[in-house]
Amino acid sequence: MSASLLAQVLANGLLLGGLYAAVAAGFSLVWGVLNVVNMLHGSAIVLGSYAAFFGWQKFGVNPFLSALVVGPAIGALGWAVQRYLVERVIAAPVLITLVLTFALDLILNNAMIAAFSADYRKIGSVSGLPPLTIGPVGVPVDRLLAALAGIAATLAIHLYLTRSRLGRAIVAVRMDRETAMLMGVKVEAIYAATFGIGLALAGIAGCLMAAVFPISPLNSPGYLGVAFVACVLGGLGSVVGAIVGGLVLGVVESFGAIFVGPEYSVTVASVLLIIMLLWRPQGLLGRAGYE
């Protein structure tokens, strides 16, 4: 492989990884704090993509600006889902919450198929700019902006978790739920807020994905798989770990597409997941005991 091709493949992987970080961050946060594997996450991303698509088609709103509205709106939906549905089974075994969110995912996904069909739709060029050329590397502007926005949104949530009162309460519940309760933290409210933040990130990720990739409800399982692998790679419950996991996954998929073919990207991601589970189950930035 020539140096120029190596640089191009690496750049493609990092750009893809930036988007993957946004896809994984909310999923990782919900799993780490609530111990709920949110199967609804993939469809929530697709819902965000459709909102961005229709905002672009009907009103000419840039998908990056749509994220500022779509994210909080889907976050509010997530808060209600946790408060009135998930909360009722939060103390049950993980399998029960898994089945509940899987059922909600099926309902939302089938509703989108009924409303929009399974046909793929695509937003045109958002920036309208030609690809940047940096040395031997060509960088599509829309993909660069989407990747940077995905990482920025993830870092913003990390800062919120570490600097705000609610964020510190979320971290406290993740580390030790019983002690947090004794300190006066209202765990039920924290769970609802965390689920809402997780789905808000899914909505934002959906808007960013819509700026780059075609949109269809059939994308939902793929997005969920990406979130799962990047979450395990980075470390359960770690927002910064989601960035690292997303970048690693993006680079591995990019090189895998060159060496074994793009049709095997899911296989490559699955092999990477198995290796990580055997070598370091807590993830690259996770702590033992939280896996």
- The 10 Å Cβ neighbour count of residue 283 is 25
Q: Which of 71-85, 106-120, 219-233, 262-276 has the lowest mean pLDDT?
A: 262-276
pLDDT in tens, 124-140: 888 777 888 887 788 88
| The overall pTM is greater than 0.85 | yes
> What integer pLDDT is reported at residue 104 of this predicted model?
95
Strands 132-134 and 137-139: antiparallel
- Residue 137 is inside which H or E element, if any? strand 137-139
Fold of 3-117+139-279: ABC transporter involved in vitamin B12 uptake, BtuC (1.10.3470)
Tokens, residue 274: 């198995």
For the residues 90-96, what does the mean pLDDT come to? 86
> What integer pLDDT is reported at residue 1 of this predicted model?
67
pLDDT in tens, 160-192: 988 999 989 998 998 888 888 888 889 999 999
Rounded to the nearest 10 degrees, the angle between the axes of helix 239-259 and helix 220-234 is: 110
Q: What's the rounded Cα separation, in Å, for the pair 197 and 228? A: 17
Q: What's the rounded Cα separation, in Å, for the pair 253 and 250? A: 5
Mean pLDDT of the chain: 88
| Banded pLDDT at 290 (limits 50, 70, 90) | very low
Classified as helix, coil or strand, 138 is strand
What residues does each domain of the chain span? 3-117+139-279
